[in-house]
Amino acid sequence: MKKLVLVLMGFGLLFILFVSFMRSSIETPNYEVLRVLDKKTEIRLYPELILAETHMEASSYKENSSLGFRRVAGYIFGGNDNEQKISMTAPVMMEMGEQTELSFVMPKQYHLEQLPTPNNQKVQIIKKASRTLAVLRFGGYADDHKINSKAFELKETLDKEGIAFKAKLIYMGYNAPWDFIARRNEVAFELE
C-alpha cells in the first residue's frame, strides 16, 4: 500500500511539472523593459493589445476574479457568433478601481476585425493603446490583501523615484489555479 501511495504521489508530481511546462508555452504579450528599478520592479513599454474585456461594479479581486474570468473564458471557449475557440493567453488582467475591467489578451495572430462577436453582451472586444507600466512581480497565490500590499510597495518605489503614475491599479495573473509551483503575479500602474 505504501508503495502504491508513493507511486501515485510521483505521478502526481510529474503531472504538475508537465502542466507547468505546458503553461510555459502559453503566449504572452511582448513588451520592452525600459528600466529596472529593483529586483522585482520594471518599467515596461507594452504594445497596442486587443482584449476581450468585461466590466464589473465591485472593486475587489475576490468579488470579480471568478465572475469576470467565467465571462471572458466563455467567449474564447466558443461563446461567440462563430462558435470559434480562441487560444488562451497570459496574463489575465484586472484593472481595479471603482469599476473593474477583467480582460484576456487576444493572440497576436488576430486583428480586431477578425475576431468573432461575443454572445455575452457583457464581453467586448477592444483595442488598448500602447502604454508604459511600472510593474512589480510576486509569487504565490493572489488575494486582495497580497495585491494591495504589493501595490503599496510599488507606489512607495515610484514615489521614491519621483515617477508619476495613474491611480488605477492593474493586476496581472499568469497561472491556472492548479499551478502550484513558480506562480507569477504582477501589480502595475500606468505611468503619466
- The edge-to-edge listing of strands for the beta sheet with 32-36 is 32-36, 41-46, 131-138, 185-191, 165-173, 92-96, 100-105, 49-56, 123-128
CA distance 160 to 177: 34
The residue-averaged pLDDT of 99-115 equals 94
CA 150 vs CA 84, 156, 173: distances in Å: 37, 10, 13
CATH numbers and ranges of domains, the chain: 27-191 (3.20.80.10)
CA 33 vs CA 40, 45, 86, 125, 131: distances in Å: 12, 6, 28, 27, 12
CA distance 165 to 189: 6
For residue 57, the model assigns a pLDDT of: 83
2 pLDDT more than 70 = no
For residue 21, the model assigns a pLDDT of: 42
Classified as helix, coil or strand, 78 is coil
24 pLDDT more than 70 = no
Which residues have a Cβ under 8 Å from the Cβ of 121 and sit 6 or more positions away?
none
For residue 167, the model assigns a pLDDT of: 93
pLDDT in tens, 160-176: 999 999 999 999 999 98
